A and B are shown apart, each in its own frame.
Chain A
Amino acid sequence: MTIETPGRRLMHHISLKFVRNKVAGHGGRSVNAGLSLTSMIDFLVVTVVFLLMTFSASGETPLTKGVMLPKAENTIDMIDAPIVAVTGSQILVDGAPAGNTRAIEDSKRLQRVDELFNMLKGKRETWKQARPGKEFPGVVVLQIDQDVQAVVVKSVFQTAAFAGYPNVSFMTDQLPKTQH
């Protein structure tokens, strides 16, 4: 950019000192603060890059209210599959009620949960009708509270397996991986 001789100065009667004092706050510290555009844009760009890197296109898997998941380290990524949630004594399949676990807890014996069985079987039939000729993956994800007893886990696990879902996955909270 070339340096050029300034042109005519307008309004000679206004002294430049007056303007300077007006802008600078009469010799005191100015109440107006400047904002460095370069730093601001750098900050915004870094924030956008960070958020883009952590962005998940698949979205968040809905976590049923009241379920506290256990933590695990050696996990694999979530997949799109029916979610069977066990919270308190209630069983939900994709958010819809599918029986309860009271009978299992009272008897302390392994039992098939009929409502869950029928619901999963129905979902399986729907999947097969929607995709004729395709092999059914048979994957179900169990979203179970950390304090639920093993007898309930076993009952739900077995019910899902007999309803045609042999690939059972346990949903967990991801722990950061450590080097072994």
Chain B
Amino acid sequence: MGGVNVDSGGKGGRKSLDSEINMIPMIDLLMVTISFLLITAVWTHMARLNADAQVPGPPRPDVEQQTVEPEKQLHIEMRTPEKFVLIWKQGATVVNTIEVPRKDDMATANGAKMIRYPDLAAKIQDEWKNTGSHRDPSDKKLDQAILHTDNETPYVNIIAVIDAVYQTHRPLNLGAKTEPVPAFNVTFSVN
């Protein structure tokens, strides 16, 4: 039997202070733990991208309507295969329009497609730095980005654009510490 003896005597008829560790139950325990962890292991990592739906609620006659100045919103249009169009709008007023070339470089691995739009992500980041309304770290509100697509666009392209929008981060004060959070809240337009 394997064992670790750390004997230092224990003479004089007294019980030794040192004890021997029994290796067999210890190895058995380790083996059982490894088996359990391997069986319950999760090798695929699922995650999610948030996209709020802005559904208008029923009219509230008891609440007085406040007239507030509409905020600037970034509209991202992916209606053509050649370009993205970024439009800053304040209410119905177009503040600025920018075109970004669209390159659908698709990588495929084991049937899974992957598209990235690094140029779009970089342009959105620049735009937010110049035009974003909520850049102060103490401002808890996020800028709004609205994605418009045509009806034939594959889902993988939509996710790639939302992923590019969420790449822009900003610091947000959370009490004592500051944490990076996405600069935009993405809404998926159904129009």
Residue ranges of A at the interface with B (Cβ–Cβ < 8 Å)? 1-2, 37, 40-41, 44-45, 47-48, 51-52, 54-56, 59-61, 63, 68-79, 108-110, 141, 144-151, 153-154, 157-158, 160-162, 165-175, 180
Interface size of B by CB at 8 A reads 51
A41 touches B26 (CB 8 A): yes
Q: How far is the CA of A170 from the CA of B51 in the complex (A)?
A: 7
Q: How far is the CA of A161 from the CA of B189 in the complex (A)?
A: 12
Question: Which chain B residues lie closer than 8 Å to A160 at the CB level?
Answer: 53
User: A74-B163, A162-B55 given as contacts; is B113 within 8 A of A146 (CB)?
Assistant: yes
Q: How far is the CA of A61 from the CA of B108 in the complex (A)?
A: 23
Question: Which chain B residues lie closer than 8 Å to A41 at the CB level?
Answer: 23, 26-27, 30
A153 touches B158 (CB 8 A): yes
**Least CB distance, A146 to chain B, in whole angstroms:** 4
Q: What is the total of A-B residue contacts with beta carbons within 8 Å?
A: 177
**Least CB distance, A31 to chain B, in whole angstroms:** 20
A40 touches B27 (CB 8 A): yes
A37 touches B23 (CB 8 A): yes
Q: Which 9 A-B pairs have the closest CB atoms?
A: A75-B47, A161-B53, A51-B37, A74-B166, A151-B151, A169-B48, A174-B45, A146-B156, A44-B30
Q: Which of B5, B54, B111, B160 contacts A68 (CB 8 A)?
A: B111
A149's nearest neighbour on chain B, judged by CB, is: B152
**Least CB distance, A10 to chain B, in whole angstroms:** 22
A169 touches B49 (CB 8 A): yes
Q: How far is the CA of A166 from the CA of B151 in the complex (A)?
A: 21
B155 touches A150 (CB 8 A): yes
B151 touches A70 (CB 8 A): no
Q: How far is the CA of A180 from the CA of B47 in the complex (A)?
A: 20
Which B33-53 residues have C-beta < 8 A from chain A?
33-34, 37-38, 40-42, 44-53
A71 touches B114 (CB 8 A): yes
Q: How far is the CA of A154 from the CA of B7 in the complex (A)?
A: 73
**Is B190 positioned at the interface, with any CB of A under 8 Å from its CB?**
yes
B46 touches A61 (CB 8 A): yes
A73 touches B45 (CB 8 A): no
Q: Which of A149, A157, A158 contacts B154 (CB 8 A)?
A: A149
B167 touches A73 (CB 8 A): yes
Q: How far is the CA of A55 from the CA of B43 in the complex (A)?
A: 10
Q: Can you list 5 A-B pairs with a CB-CB distance of less than 8 A?
A: A1-B7, A74-B167, A76-B49, A147-B156, A154-B190
